[in-house]
Structure 1
Amino acid sequence: MTVLRSAGKNKNNKDKGRNVLLHQCATATLLFGLGAAVGASDLRANELVPPAFEIAQQENDNQDKFLILQTNLHPPYQELQNGLLGGYSISVLNCAFERIGVGYGLAVAPRQRNRDMVRSGRADGFFLARISDFMDEYAVATHPLALEKWVWVSPSSNVVSSKARHLPKPGEFTTIGAILGSNEAEWLSEQGYEDVMRVPSIASLVSQVAAGRVDFALVDKQSFEIARNDLGLGAEQFLVQFERYAPLVVYFSKRYVETYPDLLGKLNNVLEFCETRPMHLEPWERDAIERIQLPIVRQFAKSKDLIRNVRAVLGTEHIPSDQKRVIDEEWTALSRRGLASSMAQNILDNILSDYLQTFKNTAGAQVAEVFVFDLAGQVIGMNRLTSDFDQSDEVQYQMTDSINRDHALIADIRYDASTRTFLSQITVPIIDPESGRTLAALTVGLDVSAALRPES
């Protein structure tokens, strides 16, 4: 049964601040009741929408947890689609809230206003935001929903090309641009960039760069490409240089988390099932991994100490498929809660895992995880708890075939819940130097936010 209530009479909007939230949105599309969408077909990004909303909310046990999240238009993450608010992050949140059975609403406003409303307690949360110490003072972050690739965009004209070939540094005499109130603008301020030109939209910023009025703009690569195409500008008009990856999260107000302390954990537990779009490695990224990290992984896979420890833990008994499935199910269920099954704990305590932990500590922040699985796809050593036990259904399992002994598999970027980082996994076979046969396979998960920074 669906019950209609006006915004002002919803029993969850107990304070005037919530009503103000609904009324003050510059533009608003509200999604309610486990992902159902309500919107005006003539909604525009810069129009004011009168405060005439109704809430269609599912009657369920989690009704009291109904919340309003603030957001902003930021294609392709949040964008208007036929008058409704959609995009990648919206689809992920719809999936996650439906899985935990909690109704939620969305209100669109400028980025800075969204932050202010959460800080002042007039909103339950907002997205997408980068993780920052400043935000952590008054809000609590979820696991990442998306990964932005920040790039410096500059004109490719001959007038400025000579000075655009390097990345700008704080204090240099150059014009830096960013979107008003954006994650990038905040980061620039923290890094010491002064007199940043802040413009209201990505389209305006790209136009300023194309016209030569901005030397460098720091933007998300996907958003830049969409705006450039919408403006009818060619890729040859710009020089694009990578700066960093930025994980993006939902921030919930501490007040809401204190009121409903179990919701954040439930949401984090299901987000991994709703992330549907891995980021493909660009040619330069794959080349960097092949040139820098892959040789290190190959050398480690050939080390005498690793091979000795692998031999020491390799089992001689074949685990029946039905028993392996039971082990994997228990392992996976407990790992989602940060707990180790008895099998997982035994593996964590073996000498191979100790050796892998030493390698991880030596490698530093660029390596997020390292584990070894045998020819049956079973994890036999790991520096930390993996999300599952059986790797035989994963693409990297092909590395256990001896015909692949000279190959390596470099996977695209995806979010890994067990390490809470965005990873690109390198998998190589571990070869017996005496027989030339494959003993097992080694997977090293690179934290791309650290491994692919320019200074790395």
Structure 2
Amino acid sequence: MIATVVVCLFVTVGIANTATAQASDNDAQDGFLILQTNLHPPYQELQNGMLSGYSVSVLNCVFERIDVGYGFAIAPRQRNREMVRNGRADGFFLARISETMDEYAVATNPLALEKWMWVSSAIKSDDPRVSRRPKPGDFTTVGAILGSNEAEWLTEQGYTDVMRVPSIASLVGQVAAGRVEYALVDKNSFEIARNELGMGADKFMVQFERYAPLVVYFSNSYVAAFPDILDKLNAVLEFCETRPMRLEPWERDAIEQTQLPTVRQFASSPELVAHVQDQLAGAEQPKEDQKHLIDAEWKALARSGQSSDTAAEILLNDLSEHLRRFQSSVGNQVAEAFVFDVHGQIIGMSRLTSDFDQSDEAQFQMIESINRDQALIADIWYDASTRTFLSQITVPVVDPDTGRTMAALTVGLNVSAALRPDS
């Protein structure tokens, strides 16, 4: 492991996995790259002169796994994009997915999910502005960080007079002083800045606007030179992302009040119960070692989007077709739906799942649930197989005649669609 020093406004250190004497000779062979970034706590931040943060730790893990040399350089976000556009850098991170950037760069799967909030000065609970969000053209003073993902999005949405300030601390201070009525910021970054400024939560009103998946963009020229690296990176991301985004109380309440009743109704519907009974009737229970073999083959092929013979057979059964009709009926709020039996084996799915055996997953506990009205609502995490951020809802499927649990239904809720304010 060697240190590669890159200068671009700031000096930072990236890690390369090639020996110093061999680095220049091997660069063209191993895809050695320089990624531009900007300081954006808690995702990218400097600690004792070293670049750290959540996204940096994920990328360190990824590049080590795929054995590619790399370095990081810090510069303002706008300059980073221009360097990639002009072919002077191999890529940059973290960025929201944008049609404009898609013209000159290729996005990876998301590394993180930002929660964008409107932040304004605190007002009384009976003030009519409590439920108000600024709209384009309504003469409200709207602020964002200069060159940020939020500032770009505001421009695309038609906000014309956006006050752009150089840092999150400055923006929070402008809101507190009343010079900016509403600021659009990432929730994590806002809370860090607010705490560093010594301001309490009671000084602000915070309203959810949207989720924003964040990716690494690689330049078209780099992808053309090394076409396999992007697929390799995406394939190992799931092993390097270990931090789910916890559902906040309001998010969990929204799911329980809006989506959970629909899932429960579907799980107890005569049609679904009949399809589950048909799949279970006469089904042979494979031995444990055979189940492991089926699961291993399933996983290996699913990573490349292929179906094993077992998966292909399940995808064609009547239960899977019924699950697809359900998913289609609720629109883009649901990314997947699948049913597994009391042994944890998938018996029906609307689309290919990442694995066959669910007995080692948290939702398997619903099989042994004594309280038939219980439901498990999981925290938000990125699912590579659906390419969406999901919160999975799992409920038991109960035999109406005997009252015993036959199976469990899991519905993958697309939180970006299901929890936005206008959903």
- TM surpasses 0.5: yes
> Who is 2:38 aligned against?
72
In 1, Cα distance between the equivalents of 2:331 and 2:25?
Answer: 49
8 Å CA contact 1:409–1:427 kept in 2: the answer is: yes
8 Å CA contact 1:28–1:109 kept in 2: the answer is: no
- 1:285-304 to structure 2, matched below 5 A, reads 285-304=251-270
- 1:274-285 to structure 2, matched below 5 A, reads 274-285=240-251
Deviation of 1:163 (Å):
3.4
Letter of the aligned partner of 2:335 in structure 1? A
In 1, Cα distance between the equivalents of 2:128 and 2:82?
Answer: 41
> Who is 1:374 aligned against?
341
> Who is 1:424 aligned against?
391
Q: 1:35 to 1:80 in 2, by over 3 A?
A: farther
> Who is 2:373 aligned against?
406
Q: 1:364 to 1:296 in 2, by over 3 A?
A: same
In 2, Cα distance between the equivalents of 1:258 and 1:372?
Answer: 41
**Partner residue of 2:314 out of 347, 351, 362:** 347
8 Å CA contact 1:96–1:274 kept in 2: the answer is: yes
> Who is 1:108 aligned against?
74
Does residue 82 of structure 1 match 2:65?
no
In 2, Cα distance between the equivalents of 1:339 and 1:284?
Answer: 38
**Cα shift readout 1:351-394 (whole Å, capped 9, x = no counterpart):** 11011011111111100000000000000000100000000000
Structure 2 counterpart SS, 1:296: helix
**Cα shift readout 1:232-253 (whole Å, capped 9, x = no counterpart):** 1111000000000000000000
Q: 1:214 to 1:380 in 2, by over 3 A?
A: same
8 Å CA contact 1:3–1:58 kept in 2: the answer is: no
In 2, Cα distance between the equivalents of 1:366 and 1:57?
Answer: 47
> Who is 1:141 aligned against?
107
> Who is 1:96 aligned against?
62
Deviation of 1:60 (Å):
7.1
In 1, Cα distance between the equivalents of 2:43 and 2:360?
Answer: 30
> Who is 1:215 aligned against?
181
In 2, Cα distance between the equivalents of 1:112 and 1:384?
Answer: 39
> Who is 2:191 aligned against?
225
> Who is 2:13 aligned against?
30
Q: 1:297 to 1:173 in 2, by over 3 A?
A: same
**Partner residue of 1:310 out of 255, 276, 280:** 276
Aligned residues: 422
> Who is 1:184 aligned against?
150
In 1, Cα distance between the equivalents of 2:362 and 2:152?
Answer: 39
8 Å CA contact 1:32–1:55 kept in 2: the answer is: no
Letter of the aligned partner of 2:399 in structure 1? D
Deviation of 1:165 (Å):
3.7
> Who is 1:200 aligned against?
166
8 Å CA contact 2:123–2:130 kept in 1: the answer is: no
In 1, Cα distance between the equivalents of 2:311 and 2:400?
Answer: 29
Deviation of 1:142 (Å):
0.2
> Who is 2:135 aligned against?
169
Structure 2: runs of 5+ lacking an equivalent = none
> Who is 1:440 aligned against?
407
Structure 2 counterpart SS, 1:339: coil
Structure 2 counterpart SS, 1:249: strand
Does residue 127 of structure 1 match 2:93?
yes
Does residue 328 of structure 1 match 2:295?
yes
8 Å CA contact 1:131–1:247 kept in 2: the answer is: yes
Q: 1:98 to 1:254 in 2, by over 3 A?
A: same
Runs of 4+ deviating beyond 2 Å: 54-64, 160-165
**Cα shift readout 1:296-337 (whole Å, capped 9, x = no counterpart):** 000000111111111111153221110000100000011000
Q: 1:183 to 1:3 in 2, by over 3 A?
A: closer
In 2, Cα distance between the equivalents of 1:149 and 1:213?
Answer: 24
**Cα shift readout 1:50-98 (whole Å, capped 9, x = no counterpart):** xxxx999599798531000000000000001121000000000000110
CA RMSD of aligned residues (A): 2.2
8 Å CA contact 2:16–2:68 kept in 1: the answer is: yes
Q: 1:55 to 1:185 in 2, by over 3 A?
A: farther
Q: 1:3 to 1:310 in 2, by over 3 A?
A: closer
Letter of the aligned partner of 2:359 in structure 1? S
TM-score by length of 2: 0.96
Deviation of 1:404 (Å):
3.7
Deviation of 1:32 (Å):
2.0
Letter of the aligned partner of 2:377 in structure 1? I
Letter of the aligned partner of 1:136 in structure 2? D
Does residue 272 of structure 1 match 2:241?
no
In 2, Cα distance between the equivalents of 1:437 and 1:412?
Answer: 28
TM-score by length of 1: 0.89
8 Å CA contact 2:123–2:205 kept in 1: the answer is: no
Letter of the aligned partner of 1:30 in structure 2? V
